[in-house]
Amino acid sequence: MTATTDGPAGPGVSGTKNTTRVAPPAAPAAQESVTALAERTAARAVDHLLARQDEAGWWKGDLDTNVTMDAEDLLLREFLGIRDEPTYAAAARWIRSQQREDGTWATFHGGPGDLSATIEAYVALRLAGDQAEAPHMTRAAAWVREKGGVARSRVFTRIWLALFGWWRWEDLPEMPPEIIYFPKWFPLNIYDFGCWARQTIVPLTVVCAFRPVHPAPFALDELHRDPAHPRPDATMAPATTWDGAFQRIDRALHAYRKVASRRLRRAALREASRWIIERQENDGCWGGIQPPAVYSVIALRLLGYDLDHPVLKAGLASLDRFAVWHDADTRMVEACQSPVWDTCLASIALADAGLPRDHPALVKAADWMLGEQVVRPGDWSVRRPGLTPGGWAFEFHNDSYPDTDDTAEVALALRRIQHPDPERVERALARAVRWNLGMQSRDGAWGAFDVDNTSKFPNRLPFCDFGEVIDPPSADVTAHVVEMLAAEGKQHDPRTRKALAWLLSEQEADGSWFGRWGVNYLYGTGSVLPALVTAGLPTSHPAIRRAVRWLEKVQNEDGGWGEDLRSYIDSEWAANGTSTASQTGWALMALLAAGEKDGKAVERGIGWLAETQREDGYWDEPYFTGTGFPWDFSINYHLYRMVFPLTALGRYLHGDGLERLARRVA
């Protein structure tokens, strides 16, 4: 697969808002009816999507994030002493290709320069052999100094630098491995963190306990404002504030390090080692995510595991599978892989586009998805010990962390497919429904991975400045679960009605919904409206009418919809951005669910999809429309530009696939 790039800088690097809501004009479509346009566009998209299915039945698009993944991969190799010149050279070519004209690296296409990403990319290029005096490097270093230097970067960046002596361990927040012993009712126990943070923090407590320093191959004075005094004077917030309280807790933890019982510390490190190894997946990775895998490998190495030990050998091999090679000489590292998510969304899109329910591609996809159901307990069972497993995870191998969102969408996909073994499907769906219902939080909504993962303390820790570290319920996930429950005949279940009430209470004043896992209000609204209607809310309901008015208001002049990631930190960016295929698909799915098939907004949206589609059925979409952590970590799912437009086109032409099935059964 080939990642989409738009040159070193890409469009929109100035960071100005798209206040006129105009995207570059597309060539006018021939005078066809909207139905004819939709049919032609959908047919091309179906052919393209079918051609991309793997022989095993799954789909997977590239998962594009930012160059910190590539930089940290090289830093890991340097720390472990497994330097590989072809890999370094290929990674460096990718990192250089993503540098912007001002010398910086951003965390999403068209976004502003990011200090930590720029520092890590710069260091990786130095490791690969780029000289500090090279023009592209001097531009980067000057920008870093202008923004405050290394001292202003995130904690994780400074941890990587500390591994090589470029930053003092003493000047980093402390996180002792003894937290592994905190009971689950105790504040800041590891299960108070979201699963992605938990998997990262446990191995990092080991790393921070050892405070290793690998000899640095060069100095980094050029990345400090004042190399002689790289650490600015720390300012303490008032003790009466949460920030001040946690700063003082961090001071106390530094003091504790000096007096900690060696016996207790050794026991905690052994327990952390056991915890890490127990969560290694069959493919050698940890949770199917690159960052926890990287830190777990370092932690186990520090604990004495040899690089040839089966655990470490499998872990390192798994990291190579995150690499996407372009033309055999450029290497991009994915933060994660999304085959389950991509496969269920592709199946829904194809079924809703009119593919026969027993089409071989859909049956093959169903077979693969059925084989991926997680049937053993994972970390979620700490809060739900009596709940029978039955969810799906996001990745190829991740039995520890299935999520409610994938489970809901897989169930919606399987319900659309006519499988030759219907009893097997019904058993899988029954387990999925039971598990998702058991994962409902107290307020009636759903988080992605855990129940009631809402403690406010983890986000306050000085250690946790790398993005969202808890997993509270969100409107988009809750909507997908509600849609699934309604499709399974549970629209009148009290638990579904409680979730429905929660969704209505979460609507923004302008009529939209916040999107936790996609950008942003367009994703939230595109998720919620189909769920509300599937659950029985009439399209005349005031909440639905408010959402429709909002979607019509924020449509771009070219007919599409777009939203920049800056909407997470600045409300003026809400539904404001260059039109994209995925976000246009979300808006159309919402409007169609609300009964607006004959509306002008839908007609213009379909026209935009038809005009911007490539001859091969694909849409170009360099903009990031997926979210890992709102604002802090952004994702370009390369299959989003296919599955969501096709779903919308299919629903325009044929109606929702489950509605058609229900009518046929009736």
**Tell me: the pLDDT tens digits for 131-160?**
999 999 999 999 999 999 999 999 999 999
In a domain, 232, yes or no: no
Percent share of the chain, pLDDT over 90: 82
Could you tell me the CA-to-CA distances from 615 to 26, 581, 645, 664 in Å, in that order?
Answer: 14, 15, 15, 34
Q: Mean of the pLDDT values across residues 494-516? A: 97
The domain tally of the chain equals 2
Percent share of the chain, pLDDT over 70: 93
Q: Indicate whether 320 pLDDT > 70.
A: yes
pLDDT in tens, 40-98: 999 999 999 999 999 999 999 999 999 999 999 999 999 999 999 999 999 999 999 99
State residue 31's pLDDT score: 65
In a domain, 262, yes or no: yes
User: Which residue among 70, 379, 399, 405 is the active-site one?
Assistant: 405
Model confidence band, residue 662 (pLDDT cutoffs 50, 70, 90): low
Q: Are residues 415 and 268 both part of a single domain?
A: no
State residue 236's pLDDT score: 76
In a domain, 17, yes or no: no
Q: Is 405 a catalytic residue?
A: yes
State residue 13's pLDDT score: 33
Length of the chain: 666
Q: Indicate whether 424 pLDDT > 70.
A: yes
Model confidence band, residue 663 (pLDDT cutoffs 50, 70, 90): low
Of 312, 333, 354, the last residue of a domain is 333
**Could you tell me the strand order of the sheet in which 63-64 lies?**
63-64, 633-637, 626-629
Q: Among the listed ranges 587-596, 620-629, 652-661, which one has the minimum average pLDDT value?
A: 652-661
State residue 200's pLDDT score: 92
In a domain, 437, yes or no: yes
Q: Mean of the pLDDT values across residues 409-417? A: 98
Q: Indicate whether 397 pLDDT > 60.
A: yes
Between the two ends of the chain, the Cα-to-Cα distance in Å is 43
638 and 3 in contact (C-beta within 8 Å)? yes
Q: Mean of the pLDDT values across residues 291-316? A: 95
Beta bridge partners of 637: 63
Give the residue, 320 or 230, on which the prediction is more confident: 320
Q: Are residues 555 and 637 both part of a single domain?
A: yes
Give the residue, 464 or 227, on which the prediction is more confident: 227
Model pTM? 0.92
Domain that holds residue 609: 40-61+338-455+467-665
Q: Are residues 302 and 351 both part of a single domain?
A: no
In a domain, 5, yes or no: no
Q: Are residues 629 and 568 both part of a single domain?
A: yes
Q: Are residues 211 and 325 both part of a single domain?
A: yes
Beta bridge partners of 453: 471
pLDDT in tens, 93-104: 999 999 999 999
Q: Are residues 387 and 408 both part of a single domain?
A: yes
In a domain, 140, yes or no: yes
Give the residue, 209 or 466, on which the prediction is more confident: 209
Beta bridge partners of 333: 323
CATH code for the domain of 278: 1.50.10.20
Of 289, 318, 333, the last residue of a domain is 333
Q: Are residues 81 and 195 both part of a single domain?
A: yes
Mean pLDDT of the chain: 91
In a domain, 141, yes or no: yes
The CA distance from 599 to 34, in Å, is: 11
pLDDT in tens, 244-301: 887 888 888 888 898 999 999 999 999 999 999 999 999 999 988 888 999 999 999 9
Q: Are residues 210 and 347 both part of a single domain?
A: no
Q: Mean of the pLDDT values across residues 223-247? A: 78
Of 303, 333, 363, the last residue of a domain is 333
Model confidence band, residue 235 (pLDDT cutoffs 50, 70, 90): confident
Q: Are residues 546 and 658 both part of a single domain?
A: yes
Identify the burial level of 183 via C-beta atoms within 10 angstroms of its C-beta, where 0-12 means exposed, 13-18 middle and 19 or more buried: exposed
In a domain, 481, yes or no: yes
Sign of the CA dihedral running 484, 446, 373, 2: positive
State residue 18's pLDDT score: 46
State residue 234's pLDDT score: 67
Q: Which amino acid is at 508?
A: E
530 and 656 in contact (C-beta within 8 Å)? yes
pLDDT in tens, 605-648: 999 999 999 999 999 999 999 999 898 899 999 999 999 999 99
State residue 256's pLDDT score: 87
Q: Are residues 328 and 343 both part of a single domain?
A: no
Q: Are residues 116 and 178 both part of a single domain?
A: yes
Could you tell me the CA-to-CA distances from 483 to 186, 473, 528, 583 in Å, in that order?
Answer: 35, 16, 9, 20
pLDDT in tens, 26-47: 444 446 799 999 999 999 999 9
State residue 20's pLDDT score: 38
Q: Mean of the pLDDT values across residues 428-454? A: 97
Q: Mean of the pLDDT values across residues 589-600? A: 97
Q: Mean of the pLDDT values across residues 499-520? A: 97
The DSSP secondary structure of 322-388, one letter per residue, reads TEEEETTTEEEE-SB--HHHHHHHHHHHHHHTT--TT-HHHHHHHHHHHHT---S--GGGGT-TTPP
Q: Are residues 251 and 143 both part of a single domain?
A: yes
pLDDT in tens, 514-567: 999 999 999 999 999 999 999 999 999 999 999 999 999 999 999 999 999 999
